[in-house]
Chain A
Amino acid sequence: MEDLIHQSAAGWALNALSDDEERAYEAHLAVCGRCQETVAAFAEAAAALAYATEPVPPPERLRRRVLAAASRERATVITLRPRWAYPVAAAAAVAALAAVGLGLWAESLRSDPVSSLQALPLRGAQGALVLGQRGEATLVVSGLRRAPAGTTYEIWVMRRGSAQAAGLFEGAAKTSTLHLNRLVPRGSFVGVTIERAGGSLHPSGPPVFTSSRA
């Protein structure tokens, strides 16, 4: 079984797995160092395949649009379908603990030998990122200012050189408990940016706060 799932690495790097397989594999990937190494090695091989297609010179106006993007950010026109609708096993416990007080709560998780949860501190905000064994994640953050009108906070999982949207929130609550809609694999990090209402395809600016998973 383990060998079979390792075989999925190539399919995953090619984006050729079915949705269900992809979900299953990513759950495995979050906890398997060997697979993480494998898919990282496959990433460049996959990119090389782009050259199997005849290059097509893009229209000149695309150059202008791309260069304008270097200096300023614009609304994103295409939103990707969220591929994760992930039940977080520890959600209820996390929410209850969050109320106790973030500092104490993070310490109690860290020192609890029975718990399979891992609490990571945030850089740039008060709170923690709580991870289950498979990388399922809940972000608890407090003391944020409500996102300015017309904008939203957006959570990102950064890995493989790209940011994957993992949820939106307004930051209106004193303490926000947010279940990420995708897994946080080892070696990736979670960041939160301010985006236009409705969210963006990718982060448009530096993160407001981050947390990394070792």
Chain B
Amino acid sequence: MTALLGRRHECGSDEELLTRAQHGDAAALEVLYDRYGSVVYGLAVRMLGDLEVAASLVEDAFRAVAHGWPDDVSAEVRIVTHVHRAAIELRREKARARPVSERETDARTEYPEGTRALRALSRVPGDQRKLLVLAYCDGYTIDELAEHFAEPREAVGRELRDGMLSLREALVNDAAQGRSRSADVESRPARQRLPLTHGRLRIRRVPSGDRQLRGGGRT
């Protein structure tokens, strides 16, 4: 898969750093750690609320990457995916069902320019972004979100899917623009293949009235 995230300059591309780290180069791993450590630590702290456990998950993720096997998934996606999955499993072990708390959801209303991920996030419609953040960053299941918003779970599932499509599309567009802006970015196919289109995945258009999730249950 062509990397949409990741960084390609400074001390080397993520791919180069990952290869070096997998050959025991601690300096290369340190650059990756400097790039992504605080992002995944912040995510783990938010999901688990426990600094020690969060640190363990981050350590595990970097160790997994350093000792990982060759794969076509980028270092960043590997690290984030590892931390997220481990945090989700720990959360669900502790509590099978939790009432949704939105205390943190709106903490980050500003999405500053600077990284591709944030630029792309800022292009996802607000309601969908809120749901995506509750699902991903706070670890709520579709069922929990459906109950909280008093919506059918199918509606929540559709919103999440549409939000993911928007986010994916924004990432792909951003990557394409980045390439046309700077010619020195390492050579990549001129046109990125977009394996997802709205047309292929969209099952039925939600009438526009249903697309607004009610804020029910919010106190």
- Please give, as numbers and ranges, the residues of chain A lying within 8 Å of B3 by CB-CB distance: 44
- Structural contact, A43 and B81, CB atoms closer than 8 A: yes
- Please give, as numbers and ranges, the residues of chain A lying within 8 Å of B133 by CB-CB distance: 49, 52
- Please give, as numbers and ranges, the residues of chain A lying within 8 Å of B163 by CB-CB distance: 10
Given contacts A7-B203, A53-B43, A67-B33, contact A62 B55 (CB under 8 A): yes
Per the 8 Å Cβ criterion, residues 41-82 of B in contact with A are 41-43, 45-46, 51, 53, 55-60, 62-64, 66-69, 71, 73-74, 76-78, 80-82
Whole-angstrom CA separation of A67 from B21 in the bound complex: 10
Given contacts A58-B38, A78-B90, A161-B71, contact A13 B164 (CB under 8 A): yes
User: Shortest Cβ distance from A134 into chain B, in angstroms?
Assistant: 21
- Structural contact, B41 and A56, CB atoms closer than 8 A: yes
Per the 8 Å Cβ criterion, residues 84-125 of B in contact with A are 84-86, 88-90, 92-93, 107-108, 111, 115-118, 120-121
- Please give, as numbers and ranges, the residues of chain B lying within 8 Å of A50 by CB-CB distance: 39-40, 42-43, 80, 83-84, 117, 136-137
Nearest residue (CB) in B for A61 is B55
- Please give, as numbers and ranges, the residues of chain B lying within 8 Å of A112 by CB-CB distance: none
A interface residues, how many (CB within 8 angstroms) = 67
B26 beta carbon closer than 8 Å to chain A: yes
Whole-angstrom CA separation of A22 from B170 in the bound complex: 27
- Structural contact, B68 and A53, CB atoms closer than 8 A: no
- Structural contact, A48 and B117, CB atoms closer than 8 A: yes
- Please give, as numbers and ranges, the residues of chain A lying within 8 Å of B201 by CB-CB distance: 6-7, 9, 38
Whole-angstrom CA separation of A41 from B196 in the bound complex: 7
- Structural contact, A14 and B164, CB atoms closer than 8 A: yes
User: Shortest Cβ distance from B189 into chain A, in angstroms?
Assistant: 15
Whole-angstrom CA separation of A108 from B126 in the bound complex: 57
User: Shortest Cβ distance from A53 into chain B, in angstroms?
Assistant: 5
Q: Which of B41, B86, B196 contacts A58 (CB 8 A)?
A: B41
Given contacts A47-B76, A78-B56, contact A15 B88 (CB under 8 A): yes
Nearest residue (CB) in B for A74 is B63
Nearest residue (CB) in B for A8 is B157
- Please give, as numbers and ranges, the residues of chain B lying within 8 Å of A14 by CB-CB distance: 132, 135-136, 160, 164
- Structural contact, B168 and A45, CB atoms closer than 8 A: yes
Whole-angstrom CA separation of A6 from B202 in the bound complex: 10
- Please give, as numbers and ranges, the residues of chain A lying within 8 Å of B93 by CB-CB distance: 81
- Please give, as numbers and ranges, the residues of chain B lying within 8 Å of A44 by CB-CB distance: 1, 3-5, 74, 77, 168, 171
Please tell me which stretch of B138-146, B178-186, B207-215 contacts chain A, meaning at least 4 of its Cβ atoms lie within 8 angstroms of it: B138-146
- Please give, as numbers and ranges, the residues of chain A lying within 8 Å of B66 by CB-CB distance: 69-70
B148 beta carbon closer than 8 Å to chain A: no
Whole-angstrom CA separation of A207 from B67 in the bound complex: 11
Nearest residue (CB) in B for A206 is B69
- Structural contact, B167 and A45, CB atoms closer than 8 A: yes
Please tell me which stretch of A136-144, A147-155, A174-182, A196-204 contacts chain B, meaning at least 4 of its Cβ atoms lie within 8 angstroms of it: A196-204
Q: Which of B60, B142, B167 contacts A48 (CB 8 A)?
A: B167
B30 beta carbon closer than 8 Å to chain A: yes
Can you offer 6 A-B residue contacts whose CB atoms are under 8 A? A9-B201, A19-B92, A47-B80, A54-B42, A81-B89, A203-B68
Question: Which A residues fall within an 8 A CB radius of B?
Answer: 3-4, 6-11, 13-19, 21, 37-38, 40-59, 62-63, 65-67, 69-71, 73-74, 76-78, 80-81, 83, 158, 160-163, 191, 201-207
Question: Which B residues fall within an 8 A CB radius of A?
Answer: 1, 3-5, 21, 24-26, 29-30, 33, 37-43, 45-46, 51, 53, 55-60, 62-64, 66-69, 71, 73-74, 76-78, 80-86, 88-90, 92-93, 107-108, 111, 115-118, 120-121, 129, 132-133, 135-137, 139-143, 145, 157-158, 160-161, 163-165, 167-168, 171, 195-196, 201, 203
Extra 6 A-B pairs, beta carbons < 8 Å, given A44-B5, A47-B80, A52-B136: A48-B120, A53-B43, A55-B38, A65-B59, A66-B33, A161-B81
